[in-house]
Structures are given as structure tokens and as C-alpha cells.
Amino acid sequence: MMKIEKAPVPLIVPNPDDPRLTERVTGIDQTGAETEIRVPVERPLTLYLNAQEIVTMMTIGDYPEYLALGYLLNQNMLKYNDVVSEVEYDDDLGVVVVRTEHHTNFEAKLKKRTQTSGCAQGTAFGDLLEAVESVALPKAELRTSWLYQMTHAINTMPSLYLEAGAIHGCVLCKEGTPVCYTEDVGRHNAVDKIAGWIYRHGVDPADKILYTTGRLTSEMVIKTVRMGIPILVSRSGFTAWGVDLARQVGLTLVGRTRGKRFIALSGEERIVYDQNLDYVEEESAAHKRKGEGGDE
């Protein structure tokens, strides 16, 4: 097994040219002509917490350490003040082991599962509200100039989605600048990688904005709140329970963010309207993503 050593805080961005993340597949198009496209891979990754097997996830396979740590954090199996002594990853076996200084046993919790609306192994354990009760999100502001700056940067940045499609992305931003952009076959995996990155490098979430290409569901709200991020933005739509939970905890929830348009359904008091819309361009058809035809 390869031991993953500590590293400085990196700027994480998609690498659509990584040959490990996609495969070329040949088929035929609507005219019957042969065509070749790139499609994202799915690989099983089995996560152990100390000696206990927790879950097997389907993932594109990048950043296994961040995914493992983030999954445990967002399932409330790992606390942000817990000490992780070691993370080991074996690419050949498809196994990642997280070791902590304290003893852990989640046998009872693993028996109680709630299937959430996330795709590809989007499961949460125990009471979904366990991690957000009595939460106090930090004060922050969302300037509309930052919103338009970051969505333009995300929509024009090279990514697996633009190259191959069939994938979700999550982006952690500071003001209008993306600082950690992750992708995976399920949006829960993408956001778990960001949670792991925050934990691994001691990043302060209080002044950050989380952007997702997926729907604003209860699962996304809970994970955002658990990370201590006060603002959640999506190009897609909302679910009723996602909105209700966001309002209960004071999370700023902004959806249907495309071009000049957006809708805020919670935490509107954080929004500062400082951008002249005459200078904001509509979204280019070349950069339209998942959710354009509906609230995916």
C-alpha cells in the first residue's frame, strides 16, 4: 500500500486529459454513421475506517483520500476535531483505509441507512438531521459580482463534463474565484471530495461559497451545513425539503443560476446586489450543462 503523505494546500481543478478518468467508446449516431466518444469510467472503491469496512463507492477514481475523508465526515463518522493518523490507498485493490487515533465502531449505525436523492451510492446513515441540529453558520455575504464571476469561470473552465458529459461537479469558491473543483459520477462524491480537501488542509469554510451542478436537495444542504459553508449555489433547481432545511439553519440557497438569472429561496439577506446586469452576458450554448432542460 502507498501511504499518502501530508502536502501543501493545492489548487484543485479538473484534468479532462487524464487518461485514467475516461474511455473511448465506439457506436453509431442518428444517421447510422460510426462515431467515437469519451465516457467517464466507474471504479469501485472500498472504504475502511480502521479495521471496519464501511462502504464500497463507485467513483471515477481521482482523489481517493479526499473522497474517503469527506465521506466519513459527511456521514458523521469522523469529526472535524478527530485526529487521523494515516490514510492508505491501494490502487490495485481499490481500497482506501482511514486510521484514527481513537477506537471506532459503527456496526449499529451501518444497519440504519436512509436512501437519499443523490445518485450512485448517495446514502446517508442514521438520522439525516443529526449533523445539522443546533448549527450556527458564519456570517457572510454573497456579492452578485462574485456570483457572475464564479459561474463564468466554472462554465468556461476545461472539465470532464464538457469533454465527456455524464458527470457532476462541485466547486468551492472564495468570493468569485474557484479554489477547489471536483467531479465524479455522483454529486455526493464530488462534494465529499471537497469536504475531505477542507479537512485535510485546514481550510476555513466560513468565507467560502459551494457551487454544484446538481439539484439543491436535502442531502446537499446537510453536507454544506456540516462543512460550515454558509452559501450554496447551483445551476439546477430545488427540492422542497432542501429549501425547508436551508431556511431552518440559515443557509443561503441560490438555484437556477444561468447567465444573468438566479433565484434565491433562503438566506437572501446575505446577497449584495453590486453587479450591473447590463454588463453580464447570457450563457453561451457551448457551455450549457446538465439541468438546462430541467431541474436535474
Tell me which of 117 and 135 has the higher pLDDT. 135
Tell me which of 136 and 252 has the higher pLDDT. 252
Q: Would residue 219 count as lying in a domain? A: yes
CB atoms within 10 A of CB 240: 10
Q: Which three cell numbers stand for residue 266?
A: 433562503
Does the pLDDT value for residue 177 go beyond 70?
yes
Cα-based torsion angle of the residue sequence 125, 131, 133, 139 in order, rounded to the nearest 10 degrees: -150
Q: Would residue 101 count as lying in a domain? A: no
Counted domains in the chain: 1
Q: Would residue 121 count as lying in a domain? A: no
Tell me which of 102 and 125 has the higher pLDDT. 102
Number of H helices, E strands in the chain: 7, 17
Q: Would residue 252 count as lying in a domain? A: yes
Q: Would residue 168 count as lying in a domain? A: yes
Q: Would residue 28 count as lying in a domain? A: no
Whole-number pLDDT of residue 291: 40
Name which of 132, 169, 112, 123 is nearest 244 in CA terms. 132
Domain CATH code at residue 198: 3.40.140.10
Q: Would residue 48 count as lying in a domain? A: no
Q: Would residue 66 count as lying in a domain? A: no
pTM: 0.88
Confidence tier at 283 by pLDDT (50, 70, 90)? confident
pLDDT in tens, 27-79: 999 999 999 999 999 999 999 999 999 999 999 999 999 999 999 999 888 98
Name which of 246, 289, 295, 291 is nearest 268 in CA terms. 246
Helices within 216-280 (DSSP H only): 218-227, 240-249
Q: Structural domain of residue 225, as residue ranges?
A: 142-287
Name which of 54, 59, 56 is nearest 43 in CA terms. 59
